Structure 1
Amino acid sequence: MTLQSDATATLTEPQIGIEFYQLLADKVLDGGSVTREEALAILEAPDAHVPAILAAGFQIRNRYFGRTVQLNFLMSAKSGLCPEDCHYCSQSKVSEAPVPKYNILKREELMKAAEQASAQGAKTYCLVISARGPNEREMAAVEQIVPEIKAKYDLDICACLGLLNQEQAERLKACGVDRVNHNLNTSETHYAEVCTTHTYADRIQTLKHVRAAGMEMCSGGIIGMDERPEDVVSMAMDLRELGVHSIPLNFLESIEGTPFQGKATLTPNKCLKALAMFRFVIPDRELRISGGREVHLRTLQPMGLYVANSMFVGDYLTTKGQPPEADRQMIEDLGFEVTTKVE
């Protein structure tokens, strides 16, 4: 392997050691881009290299985000009842998991959750519905509640409503939505193993509608779905090409009753290498440790924040997170600070 850089230094396969990651960080900090080959080397590095990978990755994180951590709060505004067959999801039509099923919540419940998000120091309130895409009633509910939330609380709004057309994206922009989440989840080549009721191209098109409407794109993926390291790298490269603003990286919780029950075979070090790879590939964008961090990072959760600069606080859609107080303590113990704005 050769480290491609404007500099004269190169690194070949027999020489790859912990110095590789510092050379790679220097390249990124000098304005260079990580190649597929270099990104793959991070994912396939020996576990003994993880401290060096995180040390180099932290320099990139520190350049763009300092020692700040952004908090995001998830609100499941509509649960279950989804016609899609995403194999990882407990709310899909092929899931037998016992999850709550309800249509979009009333205004009072959504406002109460916004108050909770604000009290927990969140920067972003993420309003999520389970659906292929929003119907007119759901669009109207979002258009009503978003201006109310923004008038009362200092929160950015991220809407995760499924597939969107251009008109819907423009309506979301007009009512005050700041960003839309629509995860790629995996690579294009692996996507059919994850979902068959829509395509990778459908997801890309939704993100393009969001971008054209002038909102920020939030998009990431899930690690642990039998993908190859090459698939994880391809997803990162596609996200970089799209120019996404925020990248949530999830670690599969193989929920009983879903097609992916019992599938995830992750270790804390594998999760850390994946987080670091995304920081090297997309150095200046929000990188969020998302679902499954408590299960798969376990006692190494704090180490993830040496490369990631964002996390969810509170619970996820159908699974529990650790108490917000524990998240706050973890951030404080690292010597980091919560911020409600990008530094």
Structure 2
Amino acid sequence: MKILNSKETTLKLIETADFYELIFTANSERKKYKGNKVELCAIVNAKSGICPEDCFFCAQSLRWKTHAPVYPLMDKNEILKKALDAKKHKVKRFSIVISGIKPSKQEMKKIAEAIETIAKNGINTCASLGLLNYDEISYLKDFGLQRLHCNIETSEEFFPKICTTHKFSDKVRTLEAAKKAGVSVCSGGVFGMGETWKDRVDMAYFLKEFNVDSVPLNFLTPIKGTPLENQPVVSPLEALRIIAIFRLILPQKDIRICGGRPLLGEFASWIFLAGANALMTGDYLTTHGRSYIDDLKFIHDHGLEIDYVVS
């Protein structure tokens, strides 16, 4: 099985490939480019709820009645406390995440101070702050921001079906601004929202062409009150197939398993065999994940090592 380099070849492979052969090949590529190391990242939901956007999968939109937590931007010391706890558990990168289209000027100043404090404590810094421009990203970089996260979520064609208050092109402009500012880029999306395999492949090739550094893969956990509350979840085997296809399209990148990992159930232990080399550990934005201790044991039990190097 050859490494994938065209959408047509990829779609044909998805239709015809034996599942176990696909997994075997993806695992070989993971070991070739990433060895037996697993990188951990963690986040803090530093500002939650009352988002004016209408992303159909998100619990934090003020348009949906989800009972998600609502609170203003955390104090930098509270953010630092969470970052230090993550560092203690060998988390390589810590990200500040807020709800909303972007921070206010006052919030930007506070976030910059938090990033500076985190960086001074020897922790790799990341932020997910909505649709920032070049000047805003450059400002944060001056305070120690190393990576910007901004998911494209899905393909450009499918995007209007899961969000109408901003466009796929708005996401792309933020990614372009991050590249121009000279920070690392983390971008991926959510699977199980009703998209086709063509949408998934289009998304993967966009990320390949854009040359992102980290690709977070999330599997939709339908949340009551959102438009996708009754959406069928991705099956464990389909999730593994998605991971493998992304590894084969993006062989040298960090394929990071994030939200929805518990949906894999007993197949969660297969994510490394399917090509993943990175995990988000701890809790997600509005749903529970796995504890740091459980994930460290999970990785150790698979005979893998923690990639823990501060840049």
TM-score (norm 1): 0.87
How many aligned positions are there? 310
Task: Specify the SS of the correspondent of 2:215.
Answer: strand
Contact 1:124 1:156 in 2 (8 A): yes
2:222–2:233 Cα contact (<8 Å) kept: no
Q: How does 1:68-107 map to 2 (within 5 A)?
A: 68-107=37-76
Q: Deviations over 1:186-239 (max 9, x none)?
A: 111101100000000000010000000000110001000000100000000111
Partner of residue 127, structure 1: 96
Runs of 4+ in structure 1 over 6 Å off: none
Q: Please give the per-residue CA displacement for 1:21-45, whole angstroms capped at 9, x wherever unaligned.
A: xx21xxx3xxxx5211232244445
SS of 2:279's equivalent? strand
CA displacement at 1:142 relative to structure 2 = 1.4
Other-structure match for 1:247: 215
| Structure 2 runs not aligned, ≥5 long | none
Residues 342 and 167 from structure 1, CA distance in 2 versus in 1: closer, same or farther, beyond 3 angstroms?
Answer: closer
Contact 1:69 1:336 in 2 (8 A): yes
The equivalent position to 1:238 in structure 2, one of 172, 192, 206, is 206
- Is 2:300 aligned against 1:332? yes
Q: Does 1:172 align with 2:143?
A: no
Residue 50 of structure 1 and its aligned partner are, at CA, apart by: 2.3
Q: Determine the C-alpha separation between the residues in 2 that align with 1:252 and 1:40.
A: 22
CA distance in 2, matches of 1:331, 1:192: 37
SS in structure 2 opposite 1:126? strand
Q: Kindly state the Cα deviation for residue 116 of structure 1 after the two structures are TM-superposed.
A: 1.0
TM-score normalised by structure 2 residue count: 0.96
Distance 1:41 1:302, change over 3 A: farther
Q: CA deviation at 1:326?
A: 2.3
Output aligned runs, 1:23-62, within 5 Å. 23-24=1-2, 28=3, 33-45=4-16, 49-62=18-31
User: What is the alpha-carbon distance in structure 2 between the residues aligned to residue 336 and residue 133 of structure 1?
Assistant: 38
Which amino acid in structure 2 is aligned with residue 299 of structure 1?
A: E
Whole-Å separation in 1 of the counterparts to 2:30 and 2:201: 19
Conservation of the 8 A alpha-carbon contact between 2:77 and 2:114: no
* 1:229 aligned to which of 194, 197, 200: 197
CA distance in 1, matches of 2:236, 2:44: 27
> Which of the numbers 250, 253, 268 marks the counterpart of 1:301?
268
From 187, 192, 199, the equivalent of 2:155 is 187
C-alpha distance in structure 2 between counterparts of 1:204 and 1:298, whole Å: 34
Q: Contact 1:225–1:260 at 8 Å: present in 2 too?
A: yes
From the CA coordinates, give the structure whose radius of gyration is larger: 1
Report if the CA contact (8 A) 2:254-2:276 is conserved. Answer: yes
RMSD: 1.5
Residue 34 to residue 341, structure 1, CA distance change in 2 (3 Å): farther
Structure 1 runs not aligned, ≥5 long: 1-22
